[in-house]
Structure 1
Amino acid sequence: MRFIRFSIQNNLPAFLDYHDELDSDKHYLMVNTKNSNDPELKEMIFNYLSRLAVIKQDKLKQLKN
């Protein structure tokens, strides 16, 4: 659910003012995705986050390993 909300908030225009949970969801995904038991979901989240400029490459490497 956090991934869905993050992806929606990330793609909505700023004038809608629906970005309140963006930072907390990003943090949650970065911390908890690595521990996921679902490899397909983990790969989907990793691929999505890797396309975003707001995620540093060193953080992505930690997420992937």
Structure 2
Amino acid sequence: MKILSILFAVFFINTTSENITVENIRDAYKVCNQSREHADKFFELTEKATENKGAIYLGYYGAALALKASYSWNPISKMSYFNKARKTIDAAIQAEPDNIELRMIRSSIQTNVPKILGYHKNIEEDRDFILNNLENVDTTALKEYIEGYIEYSDVFSKP
């Protein structure tokens, strides 16, 4: 795990928005919840990546905002980050409703936020969408990435 952290740090230092790829962001997303440092680096990475065009960059930025909310100690900041995260993720999905990766991002966020926040209404919809469309994913890397999420997430072990 320490090697992954070092690689993440080296990658982060050497990136600009022009060379940040979705693959780079996926790799960072896998470890962003391990520490506040990883979360902060993921936030900065996705913030830079929003300069690129595409709803997927917006979706990951929304996930980074949600992570920022989870690490914030100030209740006002926490709610501000969370509300912005929710709007950002939902805007990305509204732009590309058939994007399975965006559905995975929303699912991962909704399954981890407290139910009291009311951002859990799409969990079953996204789970079903992912399961029904996984076979249509045409890139091996993305398919393996989503399959990894399915194995990791409790949402897919429930009927």
Whether TM exceeds 0.5 here: the answer is yes
**Please, what is the CA RMSD of the aligned residues?**
1.3
Who is 2:135 aligned against? 34
Does 1:51 pair with 2:145?
Answer: no
Identity among equivalent pairs (%): 36
Change (3 A) 1:50 1:21: same
TM-score w.r.t. structure 1 length? 0.74
Spell out, residue by residue over 1:6-27, the C-alpha distance to the aligned partner (whole angstroms, 9 max, x if none): 1111111111110011100000
What's the counterpart of residue 10 of structure 1? 111
Separation (CA, whole Å) in 2 of partners of 1:31 and 1:44: 16
The amino acid of 1:4's aligned partner reads: I
Distance in 1 (alpha carbons) for counterparts of 2:155 and 2:105: 17
Gaps of 5+ in 2: 1-101
Cα distance, 1:34 vs structure 2: 1.5
Aligned CA distance change for structure 1 residues 53 and 7 (closer, same or farther; 3 Å): closer
Establish whether residue 21 from structure 1 lines up as the match of residue 138 from structure 2. Answer: no
Task: Name the SS of the counterpart of 1:48 in structure 2.
Answer: helix
**C-alpha distance in structure 2 between counterparts of 1:45 and 1:24, whole Å:** 16
Q: Give the corresponding residue for 2:15.
A: none
Higher relative contact order (CA 8 A, sep 6+): 1
